[in-house]
Chain A
Amino acid sequence: MPKLDLNRIPMPRQDPKARGKNFNEVALGYSDEQARTEAGRCIQCPKRPCVSGCPVDIDIPGFIKAMREDDMPEAVRILKAKNALPGICGRVCPQESQCEAACTLAKRDAPVAIGRLERYVADWERAHKDQTEAPTKPPVPTGKRVAIVGSGPAGLTAAADLARMGHSVSIFEALHVAGGVLMYGIPEFRLPKEIVQAEVDYVTSLGADLKLDSVIGKIDTIDELLDCGFDAVFLGTGAGLPMFLDIPGENLNGIYSANEFLTRVNLMKAYRFPEYDTPVKIGRNVVVIGGGNVAMDSARCALRLGAEAVTIVYRRSEAEMPARREEVENAKEEGIQFRLLTTPKRFIGNEDNWVVGMECYEMELGEPDESGRRRPIPKEGSEFIIDCDVVVVALGTTPNPLIASTTLGLETTRRGTVVADENTGKTVKDRVWAGGDIVTGAATVISAMGAGKRAAADIDRFLRG
């Protein structure tokens, strides 16, 4: 057995003080030397548990081996054979609960930093286009047409795979850029938009035709797409409908859904207002309600916009927070405050309808609920007021009802998600597949990509059937 090296190379990051004032990427990426050393830690174990931990089955030991042999073009080839979006995944996948959790070295608390290596390979490729763009053999066209609705992680992955299989693919996107949540949701400092754009360009370079500004359900329904020449449709429209608290005062000025706040900042570049036309309220005391990654992203954006104080209000304790550990730590380092075991009761406004405060309850944890987490219960008489002038509600999202309400014969759940087979993505409607958040409700980028991949394989089987 090779000698175990338990010294995982840490990710170089921008200094917390400095980065709280800019939107540049926080994690700086490994140097060549650091990447080589970290790749050297992989023991190339025969069981390869990391691969089964990856929702898109990347040959992880394979690309790491190529790195160790200094064959970067080969590392790129292996990585991209399974994953069309490696620069994105290397940055936003929760590796700690997937490939890295399964790594043999994880038993000794120091898994190989697979995500950081994935990012290194993807970034290397972008910087060395000339060395990697070997002409790939174009696939044999099948003459079949597939419509992909939504260009987020699920749609892009399905589109890439189907195009590589030789099908003619059209991607319909409602917004003015492709990428979905990767563009409007995840902030620049965690996922630079240039990287998303480069990976979207890669997918279109495989032959997928991208139609922006096209709201399916409005310009064409799913049935019209099927009637006018598409052989199959994949629905990857995500979970775009924001949830609100439904408490008094929620429509006061200055109260945003996280979707609105992040869309203004990321997609519309409000952090560069007035150079870009879309404004966002900066706020002195910003409160973000929620404990997920979206709450962390919103809080860290508010800080970078120039807020004096940013507080995350979450109804359970830190242990129950659904956000990635790493993002919680990043937020804390940057000076975001946490008010745990706290939930809003109502918002208080001034005479101009602007929010000036939020009345809250203190909470205590009771018995576990259906999610297995201890249920938070308001403490009687514990009400207190937090001063705030901007509030971001980051409680999660559900699927936008536009597709389901305009498509005959789709089965949906009470939560508004579309029912689809877990292994194939097939819906109950003929020639229609679905995957990603529209099926699962809000989840991760990589799980949506996995669903896009499985659906692409099944669509291919059907089209060749």
Chain B
Amino acid sequence: MDAPAVARKAQAGQFVVIRIDEHGERIPLTIADWNREEGTVTVVFMEVGTTTHRLARLGTGDSIADFVGPLGLPTHIDKFGTVVCVAGGFAVATIMPIARAMREKGNRVISIMGARSKDLIFWEEELRRVSDELIVTTDDGSYGRKGLVTEPLLELLQSGTRIDRVIAIGPSIMMKFAARTTEPFGVPTMVSLNPIMVDGTGMCGCCRVSVGGETKFACVDGPDFDGHQVDWDLLLARQRSYLDEEKLSFGQWEAQEAGSSGTKA
């Protein structure tokens, strides 16, 4: 994405809010990479609803109405010692700049990336380059190690290796279990929350999450929070707020797509 103003200030862990066109919704997408000289920003997303499906159909030279950012607080980067970066699914894109920044700061970085199956694996080499060690898992065993990312994470913790910090990013359910895995070991675990947002600047409170019993706005107080303090069930429930509407909107889009490709053919 050509967005020089965003590229100039982007930092690991921040996000943008995008809107495709006049009729579109505003959705947050995490910044995966940037090039300050060229003024470009990379985002990686999964096709889940109307907006992301439409976004995926755009190509080089296309433009969207709005690309706002960088929003949210950057990930806290410091020299911790050994940092384990855990990425589930397409969050490998989100963890990349964090792992890179952690390594540049002098940490030993162990990365774990997991996907459902081999064909959903991407940026493996990119992540390997910025990690001292990389473990790849797939749910179905079609590539790397069979199993969930929490399994090698648990083994690392049990092996007696000193781990000073864990960064876990991915679907909420994966982050929840990653945080549960590290909790008995007392290893500080940061997660990047992805609740539904509208403005992304602290104005509406749609993205409120409960952390340590306190309500926080993920868009301005986060998106990174202490994974051991997050009320995961609340987050998961709030993410389901508009399931019916999302289905309706997506069904309508699919029907339209089918109609227009039909006429083209």
Contact = CB atoms under 8 A, between A and B. Distances in A.
Interface string A249-268: 01101101101100110001
B25 A244 contact: no
Interface in B98-137: none
B198 A218 contact: no
A401 B51 CA distance: 30
Interface stretch (B76-84, B183-191, B199-207): B199-207
A401 B23 CA distance: 30
A242 interface: yes
Contact of A259 (B25, B68, B203, B233): B203
Interface in A260-289: 260, 263-264, 268-269, 273-279, 281
A174 interface: yes
Given A174-B68, A213-B68, A268 B25 contact: yes
A319 interface: no
A244 B204 CA distance: 11
B9 A219 contact: yes
Contacts of A246: 215
Contacts of B201: 174, 215, 240, 400, 402
Contact of A274 (B5, B209, B245): B245
B252 A259 contact: no
A242 B245 contact: no
A245 B209 CA distance: 15
Interface string A333-374: 000000000000000000011000000000000000000000
Interface stretch (B148-156, B167-175, B235-243): B235-243
B68 A215 contact: yes
A214 interface: yes
B228 interface: no
A393 B131 CA distance: 47
Interface residues of B, number: 43
Contacts of B245: 273-274, 279
A198 interface: no
Contacts of A218: 9, 69-71
Contacts of A353: 233-234, 237-238
A105 interface: no
Contact of B66 (A213, A241, A281): A213
8 contacts: A213-B66, A215-B71, A251-B208, A277-B51, A281-B241, A353-B237, A400-B203, A402-B220
Interface of A: 174-176, 184, 212-215, 218-220, 240-242, 244, 246, 250-251, 253-254, 256-257, 259-260, 263-264, 268-269, 273-279, 281, 352-353, 400-402
Given A256-B205, A260-B206, A275-B23, 13 more contacts: A176-B19, A213-B67, A213-B68, A219-B9, A220-B9, A240-B203, A251-B208, A251-B209, A260-B204, A274-B248, A277-B51, A279-B242, A353-B233
